[in-house]
Amino acid sequence: MLRENRTTLWYGWMAAFGILAGACFWFLTGQPAFQPSPVPTPKASGLPAWLPSEISSRFSLALIVSIGWPILLRSTGVFRSQRREPLQSQLTRMAAGHSLAAAVFSAVAFTISAPISNLIPITLAAVLFTTQAILHILVFAALHRIRRKGQNSRNIVILGSGPRALTAEQTISAHPEWGYQVLGFLDDESTGFQPVIRKERIYNFEDFPELVRSEVIDEVLIACPRSMIGELDYVVGVCMTVGIEVTMLTDLFGEQLPPARSGAFGDVNTLCFAPVHHSPTQLAAKRALDLIGGSIGLAIALPVVALAALFIRLSSRGPIFFKQTRSGRNGRAFEMVKLRTMVPDAESLKEGLQGLNELDGPVFKITNDPRITPVGRVLRKFSIDELPQFWNVLRGEMSLVGPRPPTPDEVLQYTGSERRRLSMRPGLTCLWQVSGRNAVGFEDWMKLDLEYIDDWSLLNDAQILARTIPAVFLGRGAA
């Protein structure tokens, strides 16, 4: 019943929000400040012929916003139940959802040549996010208040009676705003248990069906040791039969695992524990921005690359481009393209210069590398040699922002968590790029990359891109 009520409530919220989104769009498009340049507007099909074309077009777009905006928010989890989730993460997901909706609406408006100002999607996202955030904070505070008074509560039974079960109950007690009431614990002497819970609060497995019939149970929390893994089949079977939710603490497997995402392996449901968990929706948005930014970047870079190629050809013998195998996501090899900045036999000369390496770890860097040509030194100072990598971005081998791609021989020397930097697609720029580049040691470089991966968001990418532009133009930290 609770699940059905929540589903009905959230669909109601979605419908109300869709109406609000359409109304806001209609209002904004009627303001003089948001009027686009006058262009002929075709009348939307299916609308009365007596309606002016401007109104019919606005109506069609408002309908798209009313339906599409809440659907995109729902796809990012904005309308799901968030009883145990901190407010900050809820608002962060909400901001990501509105950003995605604005980006998709902008793309749709551009594709159909909609007669609206470019400011409309951004302004609409800002207005809707602000409105929803204020309402959400008020509802969040109100729910916390009534749950602390014992209302709007959910009854829970904890499977297990050992230290993990006790810790689970203590966590629930420390968060009365969650609104959970622990009815008791489920365990049995047949499991060889050593309870740390008072025995009068422990129910035997054989009593569980009767407990389900006599009490209101909303959820069963699995907090038992691995020795009780055999009993899970029975408990979960009873819960699925009567429609009770089951939640499992993932430290059942011996250590704290990252958030799991569900999936399927043939006909069998699975849980995937990824060391780095990023929202598929946000990663899709990141890829979309890579395609847009990569296309624009490559178009702007072409004349610069052509001019640089001319200087390379006139100043030294050898090819214009330098191609090298690099390790991409999860170590997948790809061919990275750069403008050549060194003498043609630079790789064969590298072994004799190992004693001059200024960085610790597997990376090879020399401030005044004798292999670099005069033209190459200028290209490197302003990162012009990296411009052809926009092509790697469009091919999906790289991203605009991400850890710089290492060579395979560098990867072989990685130890421990250093290899985790391969868990994301490598990028044109990263935290290391805007933090001094060659002035940063290898260990700090790795820390910056792992910090980027662990704290990744589209907002962080935007901030790094904004910091990259002055770093490149001023040549800060370049070789």
Give a yes or no: residue 260 inside a domain: no
Q: pLDDT confidence of 390, banded at 50, 70, 90?
A: very high
| pLDDT tens column, 156-181 | 999 988 888 898 999 999 999 999 99
The 10 Å CB-count burial string (b at 16+, else e) for 423-435 is bbbbbbbbbbbbb
pLDDT above 70 for 5: no
Question: Can you give the pLDDT at residue 162?
Answer: 86
* pLDDT of 50 higher than 60: no
Q: Please report which confidence band the pLDDT of residue 40 belongs to, taking 50, 70 and 90 as the band edges.
A: very low
Distance of CA 433 to the CA centre of its chain: 21
Domain co-membership, 62 together with 197: no
Same domain as 166, residue 106: no
Q: Is the pTM of this model over 0.75?
A: no
421 and 357: one domain? yes
pLDDT tens digits, 310-321: 999 998 888 999
Does 266 map to a domain? no
Cβ-based neighbour number of residue 236 at 10 Å: 16
CB 398 within 8 A of CB 392: yes
Domain match, 449 and 308 both: yes
**Which is more confidently placed, 477 or 457?**
457
Residues 105 and 187 in one domain: no
Lookup: tokens for 427:
């990028």
Residue 265 lies in a domain: no
Say whether both 335 and 454 belong to one domain: yes
- Asked whether 331 and 427 are in contact (CB, 8 A), the reply is no
232 in the same domain as 294 = no
Residue 452 lies in a domain: yes
Residue 262, in any domain of the structure: no
Q: What pLDDT does residue 332 have?
A: 93
| pLDDT per residue as tens digits for the range 402-447 | 999 999 988 998 887 888 889 899 999 988 878 766 667 788 888 8
Q: Which residue has the higher pLDDT, 241 or 34?
A: 241
Question: Same domain for 106 and 72?
Answer: yes
pLDDT the model gives residue 455 = 87
Which of the four pLDDT bands, split at 50, 70 and 90, describes residue 2? very low
Q: 328 and 184 in one domain?
A: no
What is the residue-averaged pLDDT of the chain? 82
What is the mean pLDDT of the segment spanning 446-454?
Answer: 89
- 334 with 466, same domain: the answer is yes
Q: Which of 82, 114, 148 is the last residue of a domain?
A: 148
> If phi over 0 gives left and psi between -120 and 50 gives alpha, with beta otherwise, what is residue 77?
left
Average pLDDT over residues 384-411: 94
SS (H, E, C) 327-350: ECHHHCEEEEEEECCECCCHHHHC
Same domain, 57 and 179: no
Structure tokens at 101: 């909706």
- pLDDT band of 6, cuts 50, 70, 90: low
Cα–Cα distance, 14 to 137 (Å, whole number): 17
User: Is pLDDT at 220 greater than 90 in this prediction?
Assistant: yes
Domain final position from 253, 269, 301: 253
207 and 193 inside one domain: yes
The rounded percent of the chain whose pLDDT value lies above 90 is: 28
Q: Which domain holds residue 229?
A: 154-253
Highest mean pLDDT among 4-8, 80-84, 385-389: 385-389
pLDDT value for 254? 58
Angle 87-111/458-473 helices, nearest 10 degrees?
Answer: 70
Residue type, 306: A
Identify the domain boundary among 131, 148, 165.
148
Asked if the structure places residue 409 within a domain, the reply is yes
Task: Tell me which DSSP letter residue 59 carries.
Answer: H
For strand 268-273 and strand 260-265, is the pairing parallel, antiparallel, or unpaired?
A: antiparallel
Whether 271 is in a domain gets the answer no
Interval 128-133 mean pLDDT:
90
The count of domains in the chain is: 3
Contact 197, 165 (CB under 8 A): yes
Which range among 95-99, 104-108, 386-390 has the greatest average pLDDT? 386-390
What's the confidence (pLDDT) of residue 262? 73
At 235, which CATH number? Answer: 3.40.50.720
Residue 269 lies in a domain: no
